[in-house]
A and B are shown apart, each in its own frame.
Chain A
Amino acid sequence: MSYVKLTREQIAQRIAQDIPEGSYVNLGIGMPTLVGNHLPKDREIFLHSENGILCMGPAPAPGEEDADLINAGKEPVTLLTGGAYFHHTDSFAMMRGGHLDIAVLGAFQVSVSGDLANWHSGGDAIPAVGGAMDLAVGARSVWVMMEHLTKNGESKIVERCAYPLTGIGVVKRIYTDLAVIDIAPRGLVASRLVPGLSFDELQRLSGVPLLPAAKAAA
C-alpha cells in the first residue's frame, strides 16, 4: 500500500491539537513556529518568546510592524490582550526553572534515549546556540517536530546522535511526517502512522527498534 507523508503544516496541525488549554508553550525557530498558525481558537494557550514575551500573538498586518516587538527569530509579532513583557533573565528563569509546559523544537537528530541534537551541524559552521540548550533542559515536555528521514533517506531517530548534543535524555515525543513517536521507559512507541504506512514499513525506515502503540499498551 502506498502512503503520503504529512506536510509541515499537517505536522504543525497535529501538534497544535495536542496542546491542552492553559499550557505555557515555547515554539522554537523554524518549523515549530508553524504550530502557532494552528492553535485551536477555543483554547487559551500562552506562547512564550525567549526575548521577554508571554501571550505572543501572530504577525501584524503589513505596515503595523514594530521594531521593538519581535520574536526569537527576530520577526515582527504582536502581543495578545493580557500579555506581558519582561527582561531576559526572567524569561530564562521561566525556561530553565521548569515553568514552561511544552517546548516544540526542531532537530537534526534524536536518539533512542531522548538525546537532542539541534544546535550545531558540525564542521566549520560558525557555532550558534541561542536558547536551545535552556529550552531542552527547562521545559517540562520537549516535543520534537522534524521530518522522519534526511534528504538521503537516513533516519533522524538514531541509536546515538552524531551531531553535537543540545541536551541529554530530554525529548519526550517526536512528531514526524510519518508518525508520532513517544520516548517511553520501555522504548520508542510509534502511533498515528500516516494512512497506508504499515508498522513494519515504518520500522524498516527508522533503523532503531520501535514498538507499535497497541502492543506497548498491552
Chain B
Amino acid sequence: MVDKIVPAIEAALADVRDGATVLVGGFGGAGVPEELVDALIAQGARDLTIVNNNAGNGEVGIAALFKAGRIRKLICSYPRQVDSHHFQTAYRAGKVELEIVPQGTLSERLRAAGAGIGAFYTPTGYGTDLAKGKETRVIGGRGHVLEFPLHGDFALVKAERGDRWGNLVYRKSARNYGPTMASAARVTVAQVYETVELGELDPECIVTPGIFVTHVVKVPRKARRIPSGGVTQGISGRAAA
C-alpha cells in the first residue's frame, strides 16, 4: 500500500543537506508552508538556496530562516516589503546573495524544470538590467531572453487537502506557486490541513496529481490571520509585487 502521509514532519525533511536548493511556496503570506519552514529551521541545514516570490514577512516562515542565518542565497522576484527586515538586515550585511528574477520568468523557470524543458526564450526583461549577460534572440521581430530551468532539491508547499497518494487541492489565492514548485523538485513535501480518503477528492478538480508529491504532512489548522498588507501603498512607481 502506498501511503505518502508521514506522521512526523521531521521525517519528511530528514534528507535536506547543507547547500540544498529549497523551493518554498507562497506569495506574501498566502500559501506559505510555515510549519514546514519551522521544521526546516529545527532540522538545521545550512547554506541553503531558497526560491520564493518574496523574502519573508515579519518573524515567521522564511523571515525566521533568515534570522537563524541559514540562507546563503535567495532567488526571488520581490524582496522589498515593509516587513522583510530580517532579509534586509542579512542583505545589507553582505551575508546573503540575491538573484532577482521577473515573477513570470521565475514561475516559468520552475515550470521548465518540472516539465523537462532545457531552456526557453521569453520577451520579459529584454533590454533591461535583468537581461544583462544573458543570451538574446530576436524571434518574430521581438527581442527575447534565454532563461534556464530552476530545479529544487526539495519543494515545500502548502495545500488545503491531500490524500495518501499525494493528490492535492488548494484554497483560493494560496495556490500560487504550489503546483509548479511541486513539479520542479526531486522531493516535494506538502503540508495540508486535512487528509482525506482516496476518492474523496473529485478527480476533475485535483490540482496537483500525486505523481508530483513525495510526502504529505498534516498540520493543525490555525485561526485565520488577517493579512497585514505587506506593501506600502501610494508609491506611483510600484507596478506589481
Q: How distant is B175 from chain A, measured CB to nearest CB, in Å? A: 5
Are B78 and A129 touching (Cβ within 8 A)? Answer: yes
Interface string of B123-154 (1 = CB under 8 A from A): 11111111000000000000100000000000
Cβ of B231 and Cβ of A88 under 8 Å apart?
Answer: no
Which of A29, A74, A86, A88: most chain B Cβ within 10 A? A88
The digit string for B90-115, where 1 denotes a CB below 8 A from any CB of A, is 01000000101111110110110000
What residues of B have a CB within 8 angstroms of the CB of A30 in the complex?
A: 233-239
- B103 with A107: CB separation less than 8 A: no
Give the chain B neighbours of A75 by CB distance below 8 A: 227, 229, 231
Question: Which residues of chain B are near A31, meaning CB under 8 Å?
Answer: 234, 236
- Bound together, the chains give a CA A91 to CA B180 distance in angstroms of 12
What per-residue 1/0 map shows which CB atoms of A69-89 lie under 8 Å from chain B? 110111110010000011111
A167 with B240: in contact, given A51-B27, A67-B226, A128-B79 (CB under 8 Å)?
A: no
B28 interface residue per 8 A CB criterion = yes
A107: chain B residues within 8 A (beta carbon) = 236-237, 239
Across-interface contacts of A165 in B (CB, < 8 A): 127-129
Number of A-B contacts (CB under 8 A): 218
B33 located at the interface, meaning its Cβ lies under 8 Å from any Cβ of chain A in the complex: no
Task: Give complex CA distance A106, B239 in Å.
Answer: 5
B241 on the A face (CB < 8 A): yes
Residues 35-66 of A at the B interface (beta carbon under 8 Å):
49-53, 65-66
Evaluate contact between B104 and A85: CB separation under 8 angstroms: no
Separation of A76 and B110 alpha carbons in the complex (Å): 27
With contact pairs A66-B172, A74-B29 given, residues A130 and B127 touching in the complex (Cβ less than 8 Å): no
At the interface, yes or no: A127 with Cβ under 8 Å from chain B?
A: yes
* B166 CB, nearest partner CB in chain A, Å: 17
A-side interface residues, number (CB < 8 Å): 62
Q: Does A121 interact with chain B (Cβ within 8 Å)?
A: yes
Instruction: Return the CB mask of B154-195 against A: 1 if under 8 Å, else 0.
Output: 000000000000000011111111111000000000000000
List the B residue with the shortest CB-CB distance to A120. Answer: B129
Which chain B residues in 22-43 approach chain A with CB under 8 Å? Answer: 27-31
Which of A133-141, A181-189, A193-201 makes up part of the contact surface?
A133-141
Q: Which of A66, A79, A118 contacts B239 (CB 8 A)?
A: A118
Taking CB atoms and an 8 Å cut-off, the chain A residues in 126-168 that contact chain B are 126-138, 145-147, 164-168
Interchain CA distance A30-B225 in the complex, whole Å = 23
- Contact of A68 with B104 in the complex, beta carbons under 8 Å: no
A88/B180 in contact, CB under 8 A: yes
Provide the residues of chain A in CB contact with B30, threshold 8 Å: 51, 67-70, 74
In the complex, which residues 12-56 of chain B have their Cβ closer than 8 Å to any Cβ of chain A?
27-31
* A145 contacts across to B, CB distance below 8 A: 236
Asked, given contacts A108-B237, A131-B240, whether A96 binds B77 with beta carbons under 8 Å apart, the answer is no
Question: When the two chains form their complex, are residues A134 and B124 in contact, meaning their CB atoms are under 8 A apart?
Answer: yes
Identity of the chain B residue whose Cβ is nearest the Cβ of A142 in the assembled complex: B239
